[in-house]
Chains A and B, each alone.
Chain A
Amino acid sequence: MLSDYAPLLLLLALAAAFVVGNLVISEVLGRPKPGVGKKTVYECGMPIRGTARARFSVHYYLLALLFILFDVEAAFLLPWAAHAEELGKAGLVAMGGFAVVLVVGLLYVMRKKALEWDR
């Protein structure tokens, strides 16, 4: 049972050894050559613009909040979908009511133009 995980452990050990080994080798053999390029933040090779301390637009929060809310509410649909046949009409009515309330919320959000990114 536990031996099934042996390859995984071996992989972990190898990975750790590789990383530590490389660090040690570069520390022992390498000579430090400091430069401007080395001290800047690595941005996938792109030139850096501004600082990392920029503020996000408040719209970002709004959209993120709305996304979280609808996302979590959609989580209720999954258990129902998995058992829709057993739950029958009662389940359909219940989820219908739930969906209607959700749609009212969505209408509200759309009507208040909260989903429009650049207004």
Chain B
Amino acid sequence: MSFFGAPVFFLAAALFALGIYGFMTRRNLIVVLMSIELMLNAANLTFLAAARGTAQANEASSYAVFVILVAAAEVAVGLALVLAVFRLKRDSDIDAARDLRG
């Protein structure tokens, strides 16, 4: 439980909260994607910080590599879709997405 007292944990939590905040308040899709990256990096930081100084430090680093990979793939698909939508609507604002309602 001592882990939750570590400063790094608070840094990660702050990053995560910033990501959520950005997702909630920003209207630009690219910035929203950046916020999501922030959240994933907060998770990575927690992984690494939790394993720091223990026997599992190497394991945790490999988890982080996996998460980085997933983040890259996700952002690649997300960016591609945002571009596709931009080409159709000429707008990368989240409020431009209003064809589907009900």
Q: Do A and B touch, yes or no (CB under 8 Å, in the complex)?
A: yes
A76: chain B residues within 8 A (beta carbon) = 65, 69
B83, A72: Cβ atoms closer than 8 Å = no
Is B76 among interface residues, defined by CB-CB distance under 8 A? yes
Given the interface pairs A58-B83, A79-B62, the reply to whether A68 lies near B76 with Cβ below 8 Å is yes
Give chain A's interface secondary structure class.
helix
Q: Which residue of B lies closest to A71 (CB)?
A: B72
Q: Which of B32-67 contact A (CB under 8 A)?
A: 62, 65
B62, B73, B76 — which one has the most chain A CB atoms within 10 A of its CB?
B76
B69, A65: Cβ atoms closer than 8 Å = no
Assign chain B's interface to a size class: 10 to 19
A68: chain B residues within 8 A (beta carbon) = 72, 75-76
Q: Which of A58-96 contact B (CB under 8 A)?
A: 58, 61, 65, 68-69, 72-73, 75-76, 79
B76, A73: Cβ atoms closer than 8 Å = no
Q: Which of B62, B72, B80, B87 is in CB contact (< 8 Å) with A72?
A: B72
A75, B76: Cβ atoms closer than 8 Å = no
Is B79 among interface residues, defined by CB-CB distance under 8 A? yes
A72, B79: Cβ atoms closer than 8 Å = no
A61, B65: Cβ atoms closer than 8 Å = no
A65: chain B residues within 8 A (beta carbon) = 76, 79-80
A58: chain B residues within 8 A (beta carbon) = 83, 87
Q: Which residue of A lies closest to B62 (CB)?
A: A79
Given the interface pairs A61-B79, A65-B76, A68-B76, the reply to whether A73 lies near B69 with Cβ below 8 Å is yes
Is B68 among interface residues, defined by CB-CB distance under 8 A? yes
B83: chain A residues within 8 A (beta carbon) = 58, 61
B68: chain A residues within 8 A (beta carbon) = 72, 75
Question: When chains A and B are docked, how far (Å) is the Cα of A65 from the Cα of B82?
Answer: 13
Report the minimal beta-carbon distance from B89 to chain A, rounded to whole angstroms: 15
A75, B62: Cβ atoms closer than 8 Å = no
B87: chain A residues within 8 A (beta carbon) = 58
Binding site for A on B (CB under 8 A): 62, 65, 68-69, 72-73, 75-76, 79-80, 83, 87
Q: What are 17 A-B interface contacts by the 8 Å CB criterion?
A: A58-B83, A58-B87, A61-B79, A61-B80, A61-B83, A65-B76, A65-B79, A68-B72, A68-B75, A68-B76, A69-B72, A69-B76, A75-B65, A75-B69, A76-B65, A76-B69, A79-B62
